[in-house]
Amino acid sequence: MSDFRLCRTSFFLIIFLLSFYSHSSDTSELIQNPHARSLISLNGKWNRIIDPYENGYYNHRYEAHTNGYFKNRKPQTPSELVEYNFETAKKIDVPGDWNSQEEQLFLYEGTLWYHKRFELNKQQNKRYLLHFGAANYHAIVYVNGEKVGEHEGGFTPFQFDITHVAKNRENFVVVKVDNSRKRDQIPTVNTDWWNYGGLTRSVSVIEVPESYLSDYHLALNSTTGAIEGSLKLSNAQKDGKVSLIIPELHIEKTIKVKANGETKFSINAKPELWRPENPKRYKVILSFNGETIEDAIGFRTIEVKGTEILLNGEPVFLRGISIHEESPFGAGRAWTEADGRTLLTWAKELGCNFVRLAHYPHNEMMLKIADEMGFMVWSEIPVYWTVMFEDQAVYAKAQQQLTEMISRDKNRASIVMWSVANETPVSDARISFLSRLIEKARELDSNRLITAAMDTQSNAKNGKLIDDPLAKYVDIIGINSYCGWYSDAPANCANLRWNSHYEKPIIMSEMGAGALAGLHGEKNEIWTEEYQSDVYKHNIEMMKNMPTLRGVTPWILKDFRSPRRPLDDIQDFWNRKGLLSETGQRKQAWYVLRDFYRSIAQQDQR
Ligand code: GCU
């Protein structure tokens, strides 16, 4: 190898080796509304290195390089280690899961390294936050050769204050993302959705003043009718004054905010209330220390009264549909505005005023579009199936994801309920885990209802009995039940009766059947559109006889990728319970549900 090349290669090698020099900094608390701030987007092409054996992280003795591997040893001779070179590595799109970008990564579960050079015009009196919309599942982040932190959890944002390592002009970031499934994760190893790995949402460097308004929350108090909220400063050495302007409500306030902790406030106002038929949002302008942030916030109230769900004090029926965060234009994680608008337009065409964003927090754009288009939202964390409920470290992961979800989306009027679990098996450990999580959710956000999707109903003489002990802790009971698919013949569903130990509103959070779009036959032939349509007809008759039913989110808007659905020529790793095919082709059952929702909407208008 020529001297020049050896020298050049060793230069990159040393940069790469140094990039594991460990110097973790604090992960700063999540910044509210990052995309409304001054930012440098790192979206676009990144170098990538596929590393199934984590060679970039462990040496041949399986010792993590970050344990000082490079601190007290000179890098070995280049010839031994010249096997990584980000500069010449292939490129990959960020945001974007890796599975849908390269054939060899379709089923890949493991580590992939990302590398990106970026320029900064670094200012003295500014701080720089490296912000990730999400990385599935575990990310370790290095800037200019120093570890700045790591994050676990595939569907919530995280950030690191990189002011201490960022340079003026040339910088580079390296991220190790590992989507390996592990028993002690949230979710655990078994899920019915594709394990899309990678930097699946936007990455940006946010520039904020030395001390900045890091968090804010505004909501309508259902008792006083006032707009109440809180403001929080970060890195403030002394109390500050925040300007809050809501032009349409003729509100212009200067609020004194203490340097540490939250400052609460209350403003008398009579805003036009946000509701699906008229999703009114107000421009909110917040300024502090030279930074101005604009948001669009809707004001509404949501409560449960007996077995009714009240939106702005009026009973409401939630005409919903479940949605996975998958691109409407094929496969792969959805993340763009076009993805969100398309999925929610499909829901609108169905006649929905409600969507269950399953089974994890969707991207921030989706919630802003739901605010704008007028959808109430069920938002959930992936405490799904057989999580390790007896493990306190696993509880901490669930609580972290719950906190990050609520922190990010607390200003979204569309979100009316948080769900803490989906189809979790009954046990004392599960009740302890989930009741604690529910308590935490109520502590973090008193403005929304709490629910969970349950599939542990008992059989009763005339049908089913809702007796899951978890129902005691939620405001709304979610029921997942597949009459006509996983149990019973479709024709038996209409006569199924639902009994409950609890006087609470029920949402049928999942029902449905699979069908391959375009496959036709008799209604008793599984996988035909006729069969799926027949299941919907009989389940709709069943639901008409559920006196405390207050919403439905059938499973699911569109076919989606799942490793649990291998049936050749029918599923081919697609879960076929969509009312639409993976490319948006309507199946017969789509019309059955659409007509049912039209009839309900007409009744509501009478
Ligand atoms: C379950 C589960 C879904 C799954 C669905 C199915 O209820 O909550 O995640 O995809 O059933 O079996 O298709």
Q: What is the pLDDT of residue 191?
A: 98
Q: What is the pLDDT of residue 21?
A: 39
The pTM of the whole model exceeds 0.85: yes
| H helical segments located in 19-95 | 78-81
Kindly tell me if the per-residue pLDDT of 527 is higher than 70: yes
DSSP H or E segment with residue 252: strand 251-257
- Residue in 457, 510, 558 to alter for ligand 1 test, most ligand atoms within 8 A of Cβ: 510
Q: Is the Cβ atom of 575 under 6 angstroms away from ligand 1?
A: yes
5-19 average pLDDT score: 40
- Rounded to 5 degrees, what are φ and ψ at 404? -65, -40
Q: At what angle do helices 428-444 and 392-409 cross, to 10 degrees?
A: 30
Q: Which comes out higher in pLDDT, residue 23 or 492?
A: 492
Q: Is the Cβ atom of 576 under 6 angstroms away from ligand 1?
A: no
Q: Is the Cβ atom of 480 under 6 angstroms away from ligand 1?
A: yes
Taking every pair of Cα atoms in the chain, the longest distance, rounded to a whole number of angstroms, is: 84
- Residue in 191, 423, 511 to alter for ligand 1 test, most ligand atoms within 8 A of Cβ: 423
- Residue in 188, 190, 192 to alter for ligand 1 test, most ligand atoms within 8 A of Cβ: 192
Please answer whether residues 33 and 208 qualify as being in contact, where contact means their C-beta atoms are separated by less than 8 angstroms.
Answer: no
Q: What is the pLDDT of residue 28?
A: 63
Q: Could you tell me the distance, in angstroms and rounded to a whole number, from the CA of residue 429 to the centre of ligand 1?
A: 23
Q: Could you tell me the distance, in angstroms and rounded to a whole number, from the CA of residue 59 to the centre of ligand 1?
A: 41
The token pair at 195 is 């394990």
Q: Could you tell me the distance, in angstroms and rounded to a whole number, from the CA of residue 192 to the centre of ligand 1?
A: 6
Kindly tell me if the per-residue pLDDT of 242 is higher than 90: yes
Kindly tell me if the per-residue pLDDT of 3 is higher than 90: no
Residue with CA at minimum distance from ligand 1 atom 6: 192
328-353 average pLDDT score: 96
Kindly tell me if the per-residue pLDDT of 18 is higher than 50: no
Report d(CA 280, CA 262) in Å as an integer. 27
Q: Is the Cβ atom of 202 under 6 angstroms away from ligand 1?
A: no
Q: Kind of pairing, strands 44-51 and 91-94?
A: antiparallel
Kindly tell me if the per-residue pLDDT of 233 is higher than 60: yes
| 3-state SS class at 437 | helix
Please answer whether residues 307 and 503 qualify as being in contact, where contact means their C-beta atoms are separated by less than 8 angstroms.
Answer: yes
Q: Could you tell me the distance, in angstroms and rounded to a whole number, from the CA of residue 360 to the centre of ligand 1?
A: 13
pLDDT bin (cut points 50, 70, 90) of residue 83 is: low
Kindly tell me if the per-residue pLDDT of 524 is higher than 80: yes
Q: Could you tell me the distance, in angstroms and rounded to a whole number, from the CA of residue 197 to the centre of ligand 1?
A: 20
Q: Is the Cβ atom of 555 under 6 angstroms away from ligand 1?
A: yes
